[in-house]
Amino acid sequence: MHYLYPLFKWCDGSWIGETIRGSKYIFPTIEAIHLLGLTVLLGIMVIVSLRLFGFILQHESTRDLATDLRPFTWCSIITMLVTGYLLFASEALKCYDSPSFRFKMVCLILALIFQVTVYHKATTSDTVDKSPGFARLTAILALMLWFGVGLGGRAIGFL
Amino acid sequence: MSILDMCQWLQDTQFGTSLRESIWMFPIVEGTHVLALSLSVGTLVWMDLRLTGTFMKSQPMSKVSGSVLPWTLFGFTIMTITGIMLFWCQAVKAYNSIFFKMKIAMLVLAAVNAIAYHATIYLKMDEWDKVIPPPARARFAGWCSIVLWIGIIVCGRTMAYNF
């Protein structure tokens, strides 16, 4: 990983990082927005997964539900990425040494890839309602990946 | 015995002390409290948005709340248990935090809002189940809930800081 060190060091020393570190209020504010984004995004994942399992809203197709939720999904993902980068920039060197951060980034990259491939396919075609196995597998993997991101994020504060 | 004394006593109990000083339990309890937000507020917000008439308009209110509410309540059960544990082990810090007091005040208001909704317009849901926009009283309850829960989450997170 040492070839990434200069990148972390640059982020840490950037004016964004310096500014956030220099203020008592900016970091907590961004963190609160990051947490609200988490609530919305993981909430969506819970709702869509419960629908994929067929536990809730059975009278509405997965596709219709996911279509209603899609703008909220991407708004919350973009909010998380922007606020996440800002938080990261203010403590990039701490993150470099954090196993939790590495775990989080691996989960995040996998979750984003999963989101635009398998999850996208499962929530834009009607086939998913006829193929419960595929639907359930998608739900389990989406939950594991996104909750992995959340778990890793919370753990940065501890180890 | 003042409230502060009671808080001190609570966090000095064996349970409070061992949870506070534990290596794994405290992070697990706190992590659960944070991630269970997805189940509690993360699911409630969609019912609230339906109440305000801005989301899932094609679905009857009764179907949305019937589907979502059991999972929301499950989430809130986890939040309550982990929240009490977190308070137990750092009661004095919580007592001294303005954000904790604001959080509790807003929790009470959210409870009042929920009870008031269920005691009034909820009972007449047959009349507005498929009506968009829902009656003003229902929309009001939905927006109140959304605003209060945003405040509760922000105050909960900010409790970690001493300004």
Q: Whose CA is closest to A42, among B28, B42, B50, B30?
A: B42
Question: Residue A132: its pLDDT value, please?
Answer: 85
Q: Is residue B137 part of a domain?
A: yes
Average pLDDT of the residues of chain A:
93
Q: Is residue B109 part of a domain?
A: yes
Q: Write down the domain spans for chain A.
A: 2-156
Neighbours of A34 (CB within 10 A): 19
Contact flag B34-A155 (C-beta cutoff 8 Å): no
In chain B, which residues have their Cβ closer than 8 Å to the Cβ of A147? 35, 38
* Residue A126 at interface with chain B, using a CB cutoff of 8 Å: no
In chain A, which residues have their Cβ closer than 8 Å to the Cβ of B160? 28
Q: Is B1 exposed, middle or buried (0-12, 13-18, 19+ CB in 10 A)?
A: exposed
Q: Is B158 exposed, middle or buried (0-12, 13-18, 19+ CB in 10 A)?
A: buried
* pLDDT of B163 higher than 70: yes
Q: Whose CA is closest to B100, among B53, B152, B31, B148?
A: B152
CA distance B143 to chain A (A): 16
Query: Does A139 or A125 have the greater pLDDT score?
Result: A139
Q: Whose CA is closest to A137, among A125, A148, A147, A145?
A: A145
What are B's interface residues with A at a Cβ cutoff of 8 A? 27, 30-31, 34-35, 37-39, 41-43, 45-46, 55-56, 58-59, 63-64, 67-68, 71, 150, 153-154, 157-158, 160-161, 163
Classified as helix, coil or strand, A91 is: coil
CA distance A57 to chain B (A): 6
Q: What is the mean pLDDT of residues A125-136?
A: 81
Contact (CB, 8 A) for A66 and A124: yes
Neighbours of A51 (CB within 10 A): 25
| Residues B102-136: tens digit of each pLDDT | 999 999 999 999 999 999 999 999 999 999 899 99
Report the chain A residue with the minimal C-alpha distance to residue B150.
A36
Question: Residue A58: its pLDDT value, please?
Answer: 85
Model confidence at B155, pLDDT cuts 50, 70, 90, reads very high
Q: Is B51 exposed, middle or buried (0-12, 13-18, 19+ CB in 10 A)?
A: buried
- What are residue B131's phi and psi, to 5 degrees? -85, 125
Q: Which tokens sit at A38?
A: 């988490």
- The whole-model pTM stands at 0.93
Identify the residue among A30, A34, A42 best suited for mutation to test binding to B, counting B beta carbons within 10 A and taking the highest.
A42
Question: Residue A1: its pLDDT value, please?
Answer: 60
Classified as helix, coil or strand, B147 is: helix
Of B56, B59, B157, the CB nearest to A31: B157
Q: Is residue B102 part of a domain?
A: yes
In chain B, which residues have their Cβ closer than 8 Å to the Cβ of A24? 163
Q: Can you give the residue range of the structural domain that contains B130?
A: 3-158
In chain A, which residues have their Cβ closer than 8 Å to the Cβ of B59? 57, 59-60
| Residues A18-44: tens digit of each pLDDT | 999 999 999 999 999 999 999 999 999
Neighbours of A13 (CB within 10 A): 13
* Structural domains in chain B (count): 1
Q: Is residue B163 part of a domain?
A: no
| Residues B15-33: tens digit of each pLDDT | 999 999 999 999 999 999 9
